[in-house]
Structure 1
Amino acid sequence: MQIDLPVVWAFIIGLGVFIYVMLDGFDLGIGLLFPFFEAKGDREVMLNTIAPVWDGNETFLVLGGAGLYGAFPVVYSTLLPANYMPLILMVVGLIFRGAAFELRAKANRTQHAWDLAFIGGSALAAFCQGIVLGSLLQGIKIVNARFVGDPFDWLSPFSVFCGIGVLMTYATLGCGWLILKTDGELQRKMRELMRPLVSVLLATIVIVSLWTVVGLPAVAQRWFGSGNLGWFLPVPILVVLCVWGIFRSVRLQHEAMPFLLTLAICFLGYTGLVISIWPYIVPPSLTIWDASSSHSSQLFALVGTVIVLPIILVYNAMQYRVFRGKVREGDAGYH
């Protein structure tokens, strides 16, 4: 029995993208929360909670991109030309954010400028990721495995709102992470901020879901007309339960639960995305089998991935274990 390698690779790339969203989402979210906390001590603590792990989090973005190139090369000739501008801006945002990490700790007179670079880079990267997500959902014009649309097809009210949705998701993740990693007055402020953030996030999810049903008939057909409704129906119920759980855990002053439940919301949203586009890797016409490289190429790349992926997972798990515990003002910073 021959293994369906495109399905295996779709799972690996999907897993890599989700882990990236889960991990890099909360440290991008901390950049989005920076403007609400102007005290130098608060900002130092916020940065120190992610300083040991942020660059390792981005490993999964590289994994997803490299896997996509090796297993589904046609995606590079369709999805990338359709989203050149937001993808380039995303990389620019990540560069500014990384430079801010390295340089703000060593800057004196220009530290405020690097704070702005950290905020702007985080916001730009997160917003552009949402733009790409929105353009993927609304569909990309493809003929004979080539992009034939306009260079600005990605720019639409729906994709812009998806960008705002990703901003809210990451900000809520960052807030949950800081509730887990801080204590005292900063933790109290984060608990107060968590309630409005998760409320706006829920409203954003509802609007995107309704907009998808009303404005994107192809996606609505996959939800309601192709037997997927049974898979999708539990998702909104579980999202509401997670939001209720976040409010309750904040009121009871639980430390880990708000972050874990926000991760659960991200997972549920991701399953909704998979249901919305499967088996298309570039909707509305390019399936994972249409976009696949040769069987031998996928098999060769899979052997390397089977060796490397467990090492990456163990490395990331170890760094979170080593740097577990609370971060407080005055602790050793990032150098």
Structure 2
Amino acid sequence: MDLALVYLALIACGVLMYVLLDGFSLGVGVVAPWLERDEDRALAVKSLSHLWDSNQTWLVFGGVALFVAFPKAYSLVLSELYLPIILMLIALIFRGVAFEFYFKSDTSRGWWNFSFSFGSILATLSQGLILGTLVQGGVEQGRLEWLTPFSLLTALSLLFGYGLLGSCWLVRKSEGRMAARSRVLARILLLCVLVSLALVSLGMLLTQPQVAARWLHMPGILLLAPVPVLCAWVSWSLWKMLGDKNGHDLQPLGLAMLLFLLSFVGLVAGMFPYIVPGQLTIWQALAPESTLIFALVGIVLLLPVVIGYNIYNYRVFAGKTRMEDGY
């Protein structure tokens, strides 16, 4: 058994779960300023009040797994991307405080609305800068290249993507006028996502020879061709569903998540086997085998508990959110 591949799969799953689950949570904060009424914004925050902290456990899981399995990659990424990582953590703390005080203060509700959206947007942009820097190969000892046109484009793309997830979440959790408004926002953001995703993909093909070789030459072109085809089909299906005001309210969220999943598959396929593109492969950054086996035992024991808790949490709080519901 290749432990490098096992841990790569675990980290990839952890990152994907975080992006999908906390992505819509951050996305609600991204689109909240464009909701029409203060009551709608309060309902949007309330729809997340039981989920936001459990969603972030996947970020902790991914970070710990990276530290345990690929310590060289962890130290390189953390040291060279220190500022955007710190900004992300500050933004998440800022946002967490807003959650806790939002419904406990009537006189300063506007401040907590701002804090919720500001923290969500800053955290999203920080994550986009980190992702863009990794993809462009800007993480190198002694170099600071996390603020480039490509990383800024990636950050903007992630902002649109999380906003799409957040809008689709509100379609599911709200009713009437707010749900209709969320459908309109989701359609606008879907167009923004497709344009920005195309630009990011083009940038990767033009600047990353390894990615271009894998996507544009045999046999990679045959193996990976279904990814953009499926992205086009999912996008068209999502566009039609969002246009039907009396249509399903859960399927748009599922399709938006599927679009993220396909994009994630394409990204990983282009970067593999690098854990830090252009610098370290998963085998070069791998920790000693004894450490990996010891940590794997803990992961096998605890991961089912985390997954089970998340499933239970979402099942208990399924359905529409109403202001009269308890916290």
Give the match's secondary structure for 1:81: helix
Task: Report the secondary structure of 1:281's partner residue.
Answer: strand
- Does residue 267 of structure 2 align to residue 273 of structure 1? yes
Q: Which runs of 5 or more residues in structure 2 are unaligned?
A: none
| Superposed counterparts of 1:128-167, under 5 Å | 128-140=126-138, 147-150=140-143, 152-167=144-159
Q: Tell which deviates more after alignment, 39-48 or 223-232.
A: 223-232
Q: Deviations over 1:223-254 (max 9, x none)?
A: 23473222321111111111110122123322
Q: Which residue identity lines up with residue 113 of structure 1 in the other structure?
A: W
Residue 47 of structure 2 aligns to a residue in which SS?
Answer: helix
1:221, distance to aligned residue in structure 2 (A) = 2.3
Maintained 8 Å contact 2:167/2:186: yes
Distance (whole Å) between structure 2 residues aligned to residue 287 and residue 56 of structure 1: 31
Tell me the residue number matched to 2:316: 322
TM-fit CA distance, 1:324? 0.6
- Could you tell me how far apart the structure 1 residues matched to 2:239 and 2:18 are? 26
Q: 1:26 to 1:63 in 2, by over 3 A?
A: same
Whole-Å separation in 2 of the counterparts to 1:110 and 1:245 = 41
Which shifted more, 88-97 or 42-51?
42-51
How many residue pairs align between the two structures?
Answer: 325
1:51 corresponds in structure 2 to 49
- For the pair 1:116 / 2:111, whether they are aligned, the reply is no
Give 1:217's aligned amino acid: P
Q: Which deviates more from structure 2 when the two are superposed, residues 228-237 or residues 297-306? A: 228-237
Alignment check: 8 A CA contact 2:35 2:181 kept: no
SS at match of 2:275: strand
Which 10-residue stretch deviates more, 195-204 or 13-22? 195-204
Report deviation, 1:285. 2.8
- The alpha-carbon deviation at position 38 of structure 1 amounts to 4.9
Residue equivalent to 2:83: 85
TM-score, length of structure 2 as denominator length: 0.96
Query: Residue type matched to 1:164 in 2?
Result: L
CA displacement at 1:75 relative to structure 2: 1.2
- Written as runs of structure 1 = structure 2, the 5 A alignment for 1:197-208 is 197-208=189-200
5 Å-filtered alignment, 1:284-323, equals: 284-323=278-317
Q: Secondary structure at the match of 1:155?
A: coil
Q: Work out the CA distance in 1 between the residues paired with 2:218 and 2:270.
A: 11
- Report the identity percentage: 40
Q: Deviations over 1:25-47 (max 9, x none)?
A: 00100000111125221111111
Which amino acid in 2 is paired with 1:159?
S
Partner of 2:324: 331
Tell me the equivalent position of 1:23.
21
* Equivalent residue, structure 2, for 1:186: 178
Paired residue for 2:37? Answer: 39
Return the alpha-carbon distance in structure 2 between the equivalents of residues 226 and 282 of structure 1.
24
Q: 1:202 is matched by which residue type in structure 2?
A: L
Distance 2:48 2:104 in 1: 17
Q: Is contact 1:140-1:149 (8 Å) kept?
A: no
1:280 is matched by which residue type in structure 2? Answer: Y
Q: Is the 8 A contact 2:31 2:163 kept in 1?
A: yes
Contact preservation (8 Å) 1:218, 1:284? no
| Residue 104 of structure 1: aligned partner | 102
SS in 1 for 2:120: helix
CA–CA distance in structure 2, aligned partners of residues 225 and 289 of structure 1: 25
The answer for the alignment partner of 2:254 in structure 1 is 260
Q: 1:308 is matched by which residue type in structure 2?
A: L
TM-score by length of 1: 0.94
Instruction: Report the CA distance between 1:283 and its aligned residue.
Output: 0.9
What is the CA-CA distance between 1:211 and the residue it aligns to? 1.4
Structure 2 residue aligned with 1:144: none
CA distance in 2, matches of 1:230, 1:281: 24
SS of match in other structure, 1:78:
helix
Distance 1:51 1:204, change over 3 A: same
